[in-house]
């Protein structure tokens, strides 16, 4: 995986480029493309146009754009593209609670909802060692519901930073999602913003912040995985905003 060093110092520039399609999505793109071609060859133009739209959507769904990740020592980066739909004080999930996981009895949870039009590649919020990776089969309720955190198919991650601080985050399947895929395994050394998994077709990601940390995002704000700063560890600054 190539890495580009970026900064906000004056000078230089960058050009926009088409995002690539993640390898996990190429087979779906190929299947959709073949079906589209078959419809056109059979002279079924209406179905051909419909499948052409489906093929374009499949390519867009599995797009994997390059992201520039801030490297500050205290930053927690968004693990998902989407809409911040909930910020709540909750107990961490029992599967990753306790002394070998997220030890705090109560933590702030930031929930990011991904629609079927968002990028679905998820990234780690911080650099560190992956201490826990727990997959749990479950239901497929609307991922925007609060109880989806406890009842839906989900996958928990706990990453321990070099200073011992642990950050947890959870991939949660939604109404249409039927597959959560990890790209990493326990013990992996992760870089902030590194790709760690994929959820197919609409879902949600929860981030659990350590004690004394307040989110730096607002309800209704959109985030970009690997780029948006969700919080700064140890900073308890309440933000207000205006929707306009």
**pLDDT in tens for each of the 244 residues of the chain?**
456 667 777 776 777 787 888 888 888 899 999 999 999 999 898 999 999 999 998 888 888 999 999 988 899 999 999 999 999 999 999 999 988 889 878 999 999 999 888 998 999 999 999 999 999 886 656 555 555 566 678 899 999 999 999 999 999 986 665 678 889 999 999 999 999 998 876 688 999 998 889 899 999 999 999 999 999 998 877 778 888 8
Whether 111 is catalytic: no
With H, G, I as helix, E, B as strand and everything else as coil, classify residue 208: strand
| Residue 144 confidence (pLDDT) | 56
| Residue 236 confidence (pLDDT) | 79
Q: Between 1.10.10, 2.60.40, 2.70.70, 3.40.50, what CATH number should domain 75-232 receive? A: 2.70.70
| Residue 176 confidence (pLDDT) | 60
Of 42, 74, 39, the closest CA to residue 53 belongs to 39
**Residue 152 burial class via C-beta count within 10 angstroms: exposed 0-12, middle 13-18, buried 19 and up:** buried
| Residue 238 confidence (pLDDT) | 79
Both structure tokens of 187 = 């013990």
Dihedral sign of CA atoms 74, 193, 154, 53 in order? positive
Per-residue pLDDT of 21-43, as tens digits, reads 888 888 889 999 999 999 999 98
Both structure tokens of 36 = 């589209």
Among candidate residues 7, 149, 185, 203, the one labeled active-site is 203
Per-residue pLDDT of 76-106, as tens digits, reads 999 999 999 999 999 999 999 988 889 878 9
Q: Contact, 161 vs 128, CB < 8 A?
A: yes
Backbone φ and ψ for 213, nearest 5 degrees, come out as -115, 130
| Residue 3 confidence (pLDDT) | 64
Strand-pair category, 107-114 with 203-209: antiparallel
Of 102, 58, 70, the closest CA to residue 206 belongs to 102
């Amino acid at each position: 995986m190539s890495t580009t060093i970026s900064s906000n110092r004056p000078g230089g520039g960058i050009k926009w480029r088409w995002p690539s399609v993640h390898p996990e999505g190429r087979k779906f793109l190929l299947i959709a493309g073949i079906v589209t071609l078959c419809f056109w060859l059979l002279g079924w133009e209406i179905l051909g146009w419909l499948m052409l739209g489906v093929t374009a959507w499949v390519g867009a769904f599995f797009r994997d754009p390059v992201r520039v990740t801030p490297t500050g020592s205290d930053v927690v980066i968004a693990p998902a593209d989407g809409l911040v739909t909930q910020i709540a004080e909750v107990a961490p999930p029992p599967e990753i609670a306790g002394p070998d996981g997220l030890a705090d009895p109560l933590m702030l949870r930031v929930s990011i909802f991904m629609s079927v039009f968002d990028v679905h590649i998820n990234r780690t919020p911080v650099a560190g060692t992956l201490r826990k990776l727990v997959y749990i089969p479950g239901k497929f309720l609307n991922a925007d519901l609060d109880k989806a955190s406890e009842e839906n198919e989900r996958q928990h991650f706990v990453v321990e930073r070099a200073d011992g601080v642990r950050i947890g985050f959870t991939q949660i399947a939604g109404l249409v999602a039927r597959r959560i895929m990890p790209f990493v395994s326990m013990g992996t050394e992760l870089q902030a913003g590194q790709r760690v998994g994929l959820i197919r077709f609409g879902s949600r990601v929860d981030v659990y912040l350590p004690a004394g940390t307040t989110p730096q995002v607002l309800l209704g704000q959109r985030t970009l995985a690997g780029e948006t700063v969700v919080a700064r560890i140890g900073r308890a600054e309440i933000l207000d905003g205006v929707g306009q």
